[in-house]
Amino acid sequence: MANWDFYNTLQKGEDKGVLSPAEIFFLLSSAKPEEEELLFRTADRVRARYVGEDVHLRGIIEFSNICIQNCLYCGLRRDNIHLPRYRMTPDEILETAERVQGEGMQTVVLQSGEDPWFTGKRMAEIVSAIKQQTGMAITLSIGERSYDEMKAWREAGADRYLLKQETASPVLFRHLRPGRELSQRLARLRWLKDLGYEVGSGNMVGLPGQTDEDLADDVFLFKENDYDMVGTGPFIAHPQSPLAGAANGRIEKVLRVLAITRILTRDTNLPATTATGILFSEGRRKALLGGANVIMPDMTPEKYKQYYDLYPGRSQPGMKLKEARGFILSMERTVGQGTGRRRSCFIQPVLSVDEATDSSDLVPPDFRAPE
**pLDDT single digits (tens) 41-61:** 999 999 999 999 999 999 999
pLDDT of residue 314 exceeding 80, the answer is no
**pLDDT single digits (tens) 227-271:** 999 999 999 999 999 999 999 999 999 999 999 999 999 999 999
Answer yes or no: pTM beyond 0.95. no
Residue 313 is predicted with a pLDDT of 79
Residue 368 is predicted with a pLDDT of 37
**pLDDT single digits (tens) 60-116:** 999 999 999 999 999 999 999 999 999 999 999 999 999 999 999 999 999 999 999
Residue 357 is predicted with a pLDDT of 41
Q: How confident is the model at residue 322 (pLDDT cuts 50, 70, 90)?
A: confident
Amino acid identity for residue 252 in this structure? E
Q: Considering the domain boundaries, does residue 368 fall inside one?
A: no
* Count: domains in the chain: 1
**In 157-296, where does DSSP find H-type helix?**
170-176, 182-194, 212-224, 251-265, 274-279, 283-289
pLDDT of residue 135 exceeding 60, the answer is yes
Q: Give the strand pairing for 229-234 and 198-205.
A: parallel
Stretch 21-26: mean pLDDT, rounded?
Answer: 98
Residue 317 is predicted with a pLDDT of 55
Q: How confident is the model at residue 320 (pLDDT cuts 50, 70, 90)?
A: confident
Report the distance separating Cα 154 and Cα 33, nearest Å.
Answer: 45
Residue 353 is predicted with a pLDDT of 38
Stretch 15-23: mean pLDDT, rounded?
Answer: 97
Q: Considering the domain boundaries, does residue 225 fall inside one?
A: yes
Domain range for 170 is 4-339
Radius of gyration of the chain (CA): 20
Q: Considering the domain boundaries, does residue 354 fall inside one?
A: no
In this structure, what CATH number is given to the domain that contains residue 324?
3.20.20.70
Residue 315 is predicted with a pLDDT of 60
Stretch 187-206: mean pLDDT, rounded?
Answer: 98
pLDDT averaged over every residue in the chain: 91
Stretch 303-329: mean pLDDT, rounded?
Answer: 85
Q: Considering the domain boundaries, does residue 299 fall inside one?
A: yes
Residue 351 is predicted with a pLDDT of 46
Residue 7 is predicted with a pLDDT of 94
Q: Considering the domain boundaries, does residue 40 fall inside one?
A: yes
Residue 2 is predicted with a pLDDT of 58
Of the chain, the end-to-end C-alpha distance in Å amounts to: 17
Q: Considering the domain boundaries, does residue 188 fall inside one?
A: yes
Report the distance separating Cα 219 and Cα 215, nearest Å.
Answer: 6
**Percentage of the chain surpassing pLDDT 70?**
90
Backbone angles phi, psi at 287, to 5 degrees: -65, -45
Stretch 268-291: mean pLDDT, rounded?
Answer: 93
Beta bridge partners of 87: 64
Stretch 129-155: mean pLDDT, rounded?
Answer: 98
Q: How confident is the model at residue 278 (pLDDT cuts 50, 70, 90)?
A: confident
Residue 130 is predicted with a pLDDT of 98
Q: Considering the domain boundaries, does residue 88 fall inside one?
A: yes
Contact 54, 293 (CB under 8 A): yes
Q: Considering the domain boundaries, does residue 346 fall inside one?
A: no
